[in-house]
Amino acid sequence: MSFPTGTILGYPRIGRRRELKRAVEAFWAGRITADELEATAAELRAVTRARLVELGLGKTDSSIPEAFSYYDQVLDAAVTVGAIPTRFASLVKPDGSLDLAGYFTIARGEGNNTPAEMTKWFDTNYHYLVPEIGPETDFHLASDRLIREVAEATTSGYRTRPVIVGPVTFLLLSKPSEGAPEGYQPLDRLDDLLPVYAELLAALTAVGAEWVQLDEPALVSESIDVPRSAVLAATAKAYDLLAAVPVRPQIFVAAPYAGLGDALPVLDKTAIEAIGLDLVRGTIPTGFTTTKTLVGGVIDGHNIWRGDLAGAFEKLTALNALSPSVAVTSSTSLFHVPHDATDEPLLADQLKSWLAFADQKVGQVATLAKGLVEGKGAIQGELDAASAALKDRHDAVGVRDGAVRARAEALAPSDFARGAYADRLAAQDAALHLPFLPTTTIGSFPQTGEIRKTRAAFAAGRISEAEYKEAMRAEIRSVVELQESIGLDVIVHGEPERNDMVQYFAENLDGFAVTQNGWVQSYGSRCTRPSILWGDVSRPSPITVEWSTYTQSLTPKPVKGMLTGPVTILAWSFVRDDQPLRDTANQVALALRDEIADLEAAGIGIIQVDEPALRELLPLKKSDQPAYLDWSVNSFRLATAGVEDKTQIHTHLCYSEFGVVIDAIDQLDADVTSIEAARSKMEVVPDIQSSGFGRGIGPGVYDIHSPRVPSVDEVTDLIGIALGSIPERQVWVNPDCGLKTRGYDETVESLTNVLAATRAVRLQHAH
């Protein structure tokens, strides 16, 4: 069977109203059974298949991807091939499989068993769970879930295309298991893993799959710590073997997030049938022809703009010079974007006409597929409509603001620089009087149902502004009292007024819009609503000053003002694509610079500007990285460089491999940097030590992405690891990230243990 002319690489899996999130969390809480959760998931899959047919994909031509996940696609692959961390061996049933409870335990941890490490999926805000592969890992086909889901579709009259992370990417994204010998790499186990994939392919054929999609995004990345020659050799070996499986579906290898480069001819030499190319981030290959189907990813799966449909069709036409068989798809899975732009009552009609969420992108794919079959004339009307929307967007009021642009153009080098760190350190010591191992949190405290109800009531006009503010002040008072009772040294206000660390600022800056139903999955059941940065950015009035000054009035301890940094605001929003990111970042930085000046003037002596997404946006191609690191670092410095020496600037980064950007983190020139480190057991510390990082550093000692409460001994050990490699005067003690998603009981117990451990270490060092 030929490859479908139009398809997508994946579709949002959480449900239009986050039905999966609610069901999963109800299962965790014991309110529903595993069977009830399975029923909800089956219903969501059925709704998705029907919706994709309604939007223009074929019911029986393998154009619908079977790509559901309860938590994470990498965890799914690990469970499928039996790669269960040894500390969870007791969860494995006699037949080698896991039930749903065991699956979620790997993701969330249990008791003294820490969850699988979590990190960012390439250059996106999605987090995947890192498999742990050692010489002892017993690869076998341990889960038939994907097989059952394809059979479910077949029984319902659909011919879908199963999707799984490919074997090369799976091993490249894995980490050596604890105790693995020095020099060992998970890729060393490729020969043992491939027979399991071969068995899976045969089983998928038996339930009706005619095509299978193997996702290999690691092939486009130059940031993986394995020699490129080894990656290419593994790719050739893997797909020579899998293509030789006697009874199998036809193989489609998808490689999103950048161009395939030198991996393309390697794949072409194998006997697979179709290759996917990201033609949004990548370009049309030159000097290359093939008889395989080339699947052009010309519809941007990573952003929400309607885009240049005529230009996309031109790219597909250009592919015809490389292969007689061309199909159209999204550049990435559509789980990076919300469901439906028409389902947004808060957005202006003009703005909505510029947008394409997942459903609209499926429609665009169907349109382009029609053009491939029937010719450009058959879709000229749709191409012209998209071009008209582009022109309307360019000319709209607010997209370009002369005053904002003039301010950015007038910037001088001095606007990006602070004084010498030694002078700042002396001024801050005199102003703040902090102890050895100062303790703090990252900013947010648990957001209870009552807080969310209060915000919703205010937004709906059911309570007055005065009532709303008093409710927020009451929560702040409670949070301050809690921190003082626990013994934290630097106080935060807990951020009860903030629905999201980016959306809150987007709602208070010109140039942004926010959605009502624009949810996307960040990790597991955690969903966010990225804001839409559509125009030039400015700050009409102060945003956080009132809350920070109120907090400072409640305590003699220093209060930390909390802002989200320019790079993270860009990374966690859907950003305009009509100008360089550098220009947009500087506009956001200038708005934050104004906010920081007002906080400082109001007496706030510590200001944290969070940049958890600094590593996330790093381009996958090395040639593109220097320019990115230059503008990203400078945007942070532009935001923070206007303060006096005595004002201590903090930043926070989380869930990324820091070694590749440690120099950039240093160049941010923050006085204190807090980073994720607990789940990885301080793996980042050697990078800090070898870099000679000389300012304050707070490697996290409490993994807030798990409901586990770390013991005093566990935290003590982590602090000890940090102190063993980092000069004592530099070390801070803090959680990995904000506490917004945690409950108060576990938060209080965890922070109490953190402070007990800190006091114990202080006593040890006092002697």
Which has the closest alpha carbon to 259: 240, 282, 284? 282
pTM over 0.85: yes
Q: For residues 687-702, give the mean pLDDT.
A: 89
Same domain assignment for residues 300 and 407: no
The answer to whether 566 touches 610, Cβ cutoff 8 Å, is no
> What confidence score (pLDDT) does residue 656 get?
54
Question: Structural domain of residue 639, as residue ranges?
Answer: 398-433+500-648+663-671
pLDDT given at position 50:
98
Phi, psi of 215 (to 5 degrees): -85, 120
Where helices occur in 487-624 by DSSP H, the ranges are 503-506, 545-552, 566-571, 581-601
| Across 612-640, average pLDDT | 93
Q: Please give the residue that has the higher pLDDT: either 415 or 615.
A: 415
Q: Can you tell me the mean pLDDT for 210-239?
A: 97
Q: Poorest-confidence range of 222-231, 372-381, 681-690?
A: 681-690
533 domain residue, yes or no:
yes
- Please say if the pLDDT value at position 484 is more than 90: yes
Stretch 691-705: mean pLDDT, rounded?
A: 91
Q: Inform me whether the pLDDT recorded for 485 exceeds 70.
A: yes
| Pairing status of strand 573-575 against strand 560-564 | unpaired
Evaluate whether residue 753 is within a structural domain: no
Could you give phi then psi for residue 478, rounded to 5 degrees?
-65, -40
In 3D space, the residue among 687, 682, 688 whose CA is nearest the CA of residue 701 turns out to be 682
CA R_g for the chain: 26
Assess whether 336 carries a catalytic annotation. Answer: no
Find the catalytic residue in 339, 650, 705, 765.
705
606 domain-assigned: yes
What is the DSSP code string of 641-655? TTS-TTSEEEEEE-S
Each residue's pLDDT tens digit, 239-275: 999 999 999 999 999 999 999 999 999 999 999 999 9
Is 415 found in the same domain as 351?
Answer: no
Sheet order of strands, 672-675 included: 560-564, 606-610, 648-653, 672-675, 696-699
Residues 593 and 565 occupy one common structural domain: yes
In a domain, 554, yes or no: yes
Query: In this structure, is residue 745 part of a structural domain?
Result: no
Confidence at 660, pLDDT banded by 50, 70, 90? low
Q: What is the DSSP letter of 289?
A: -
The reply to whether 180 and 68 lie within a common domain is: yes
Mean pLDDT of the chain, nearest integer: 95
- pLDDT value of position 417: 96
Of the pLDDT bands very low, low, confident and very high (cuts 50, 70, 90), residue 105 is very high
Q: Using alpha carbons, list the distances in angstroms from residue 502 to 108, 239, 285, 563, 607.
A: 25, 42, 37, 9, 17
Least confident segment among 196-205, 395-404, 758-767: 758-767
Continuous segment of H or E residues that includes residue 753: helix 744-766
- Please report, for residues 661, 705, 712, 763, the alpha-carbon distance to residue 756 in angstroms, rounded to integers and kept in the order given: 33, 21, 7, 11
- Rounded to an integer, the average pLDDT of 229-247 is 98
* Residue 524: per-residue pLDDT: 95
pLDDT digits (tens, 9 = 90+) for 350-374: 999 999 999 999 999 999 999 999 9
Angle at 275 between CA 199 and CA 363, to 5 degrees: 105
Residue 689: the pLDDT is: 83
For residues 223-239, give the mean pLDDT: 96
pLDDT at residue 690, rounded to an integer: 82
Q: What percentage of the chain has pLDDT greater than the value 90?
A: 90
Q: Token match 């030039």: residue?
A: 536
Within-domain flag for 641: yes
Q: How many domains are contained in the chain?
A: 2
Per-residue pLDDT tens for 521-545? 999 999 999 999 999 999 999 999 9
* Residues 420, 519 within the same domain: yes
| pLDDT mean over 589-617 | 95
**Same domain, yes or no, for 198 and 332?**
yes
* Mean pLDDT (whole number) for 512-523: 96
In this prediction, residue 686 carries a pLDDT of: 85
Give 11-26 pLDDT, tens digit per residue: 999 999 999 999 999 9
Q: Which two tokens stand for residue 672?
A: 């204190």
Q: How many CB atoms lie within 10 A of CB 104?
A: 22
- pLDDT class of 679 with cuts at 50, 70, 90: confident
2 within a domain of the structure (yes/no) = no
Task: Report d(CA 126, CA 572) in Å as an integer.
Answer: 10
Same domain, 391 and 405: no
- 31/157 same-domain check: yes
What is residue 612's predicted lDDT score, i.e. its pLDDT?
A: 87
Q: SS3 for 422?
A: helix
* Pair 40, 20: CB distance under 8 Å: yes
Q: What is the pLDDT of residue 658?
A: 62
Dist. CA 552–CA 101, nearest whole Å: 44
Residue 309 shares a structural domain with residue 279? yes
Q: What does the alpha-carbon distance between residue 338 and residue 355 come to, in Å, rounded to a whole number?
A: 11
CATH number at residue 133: 3.20.20.210
* Residues 161, 26: Cα–Cα separation, whole Å: 30
Give the domain-ending residue among 379, 395, 411: 395
Phi, psi values for residue 110, rounded to 5°: -165, 130
Q: Quick check: 433 pLDDT over 90? A: yes
- SS3 state at 19: helix
> Which residues make Cβ contacts (< 8 Å) with residue 447, sequence separation at least 6?
496, 740, 741
* 732, part of any domain: no
pLDDT of residue 643: 98
In angstroms, the CA 243 to CA 545 distance is 61
Name the E strands within 395-544: 510-513, 520-523, 526-528, 531-538
Percent of the chain with pLDDT over 70: 99
What is the rounded CA–CA span in Å between residue 754 and residue 719? Answer: 10
Residues 379 and 414 placed together within one structural domain of the fold = no
Domain end residue (candidates: 606, 638, 671): 671
Residues 385, 408 within the same domain: no
Query: Do 224 and 348 have their domain in common?
Result: yes
Residue 706 clears pLDDT 90, i.e. is over it: no
Residue 647 has pLDDT above 90, yes or no: yes
pLDDT above 90 for 766 = no
